[in-house]
Amino acid sequence: MNRNVLPSLAVLFPADVRPELAPGMTLEFQMPDMPHPLETVIEQVEGPEESLQFAKAHRPADAQYRDGAVLIRAHVPGRNYERDGKKRVYQDGELGRASVKLGTQRLLVAWFPGLRNALP
């Protein structure tokens, strides 16, 4: 394990949100029993073909992704997190829930990061 490389996140969303996702947007990821979600930044939004292949390989029974998916990639902000009052080490492949706040304001911040502090 290379300690200089942070564990990665690979997150699937339904294909219909593709136009609203962009690198630089904030992604929240929460594992079971984690009191607060961790925040990171979307680094890459994969194309339709790669996203669908990933969905079929990793979620073959999930009907939600049969017609398409959006695969986004990011890294966790740190290797460690706290759960149940104990310090834990994040491992690649851990499951959890992810969310991205969609809407015009979030897209503006993704396109123009300097606006992040200027908008409510």
CA dist 94 and 78 (Å) reads: 14
The H or E element containing residue 72 is strand 69-75
Interval 2-28: pLDDT, tens: 566 788 889 988 888 888 899 998 899
Interval 64-117: pLDDT, tens: 667 788 999 998 888 877 777 778 777 777 778 888 887 655 555 555 666 656
**Total-model pTM:** 0.73
CA dist 30 and 99 (Å) reads: 9
Interval 38-64: pLDDT, tens: 888 999 999 999 988 888 888 767 666
